[in-house]
Amino acid sequence: MLVVQRLDGRIHDREGFDCGEPSLNRYLHALAAQHHRAGVATTHVLVEHETPSRILGYYTLAAAHLSLSELASADRHRLPRHPVPVARLARLAVAMSEQGHGLGEALLQDVVKRCLGLRAELGIHALLVDALHARAAAFYCRYGFRETAANAMTLYLPLGDGAQRAL
């Protein structure tokens, strides 16, 4: 059974993870636990319940904000003229050996569910992601993410009804 757990260096083998993107490997190996402790980002790993040391995929979340002008005009409706509170999907990666089997989608669903839960406690209007490259942007667009005004690689998913496509 697949489960998502909070990163724990005593259980999860960070060094063994390879998604094919050196920057995403390095982040998990060297920074994720440090950032988690410092309260600047949280990292969650996907593992098999029976073999939790082997990380199959991970994601990292942090609080952020987006200026109102970055949203499409239809998405600005009824929002105050302040920066919009969002959750940033700072990293998402699946181990190379596991790619193409639906784990990226499963992780993204977990992210959206977690953010919807957080949204009940704290204002979170949307989920934001900086896609590493055009292929990653294409992956997110499948689930309803939209381009921000300033950058076609910075995408957002409104967490109201818009989140349904990702679930």
Ligand X SMILES: CC(C)(COP(=O)(O)OP(=O)(O)OC[C@H]1O[C@@H](n2cnc3c(N)ncnc32)[C@H](O)[C@@H]1OP(=O)(O)O)[C@@H](O)C(=O)NCCC(=O)NCCS
Calpha distance 83→18 (Å, rounded):
36
- CB-CB neighbours of 80 under 10 Å: 7
Of 79 and 134, which CB lies nearer to ligand X in the complex structure?
134
Calpha distance 112→80 (Å, rounded):
23
Residue 142 burial class via C-beta count within 10 angstroms: exposed 0-12, middle 13-18, buried 19 and up:
exposed
User: Which residue from 103, 109, 146, 147 is in contact with ligand X, where contact means CB under 6 A?
Assistant: 103
Verify binding: residue 165, ligand X, rule CB under 6 A: no
Q: Per CB under 6 A, which region of 2-10, 73-81, 98-106, 117-125 contacts ligand X?
A: 98-106
Which 141-160 positions form the footprint of ligand X (CB under 6 A)?
142
Structure tokens at 106: 């499963």
Of 42 and 99, which CB lies nearer to ligand X in the complex structure?
99
Query: Smallest gap, in angstroms, from Cβ of residue 54 to ligand X?
Result: 15
Structure tokens at 87: 């959750």
Q: Which residues bind ligand X (CB under 6 A)?
A: 19-21, 24, 92-94, 99-105, 131-132, 135-136, 138-139, 142
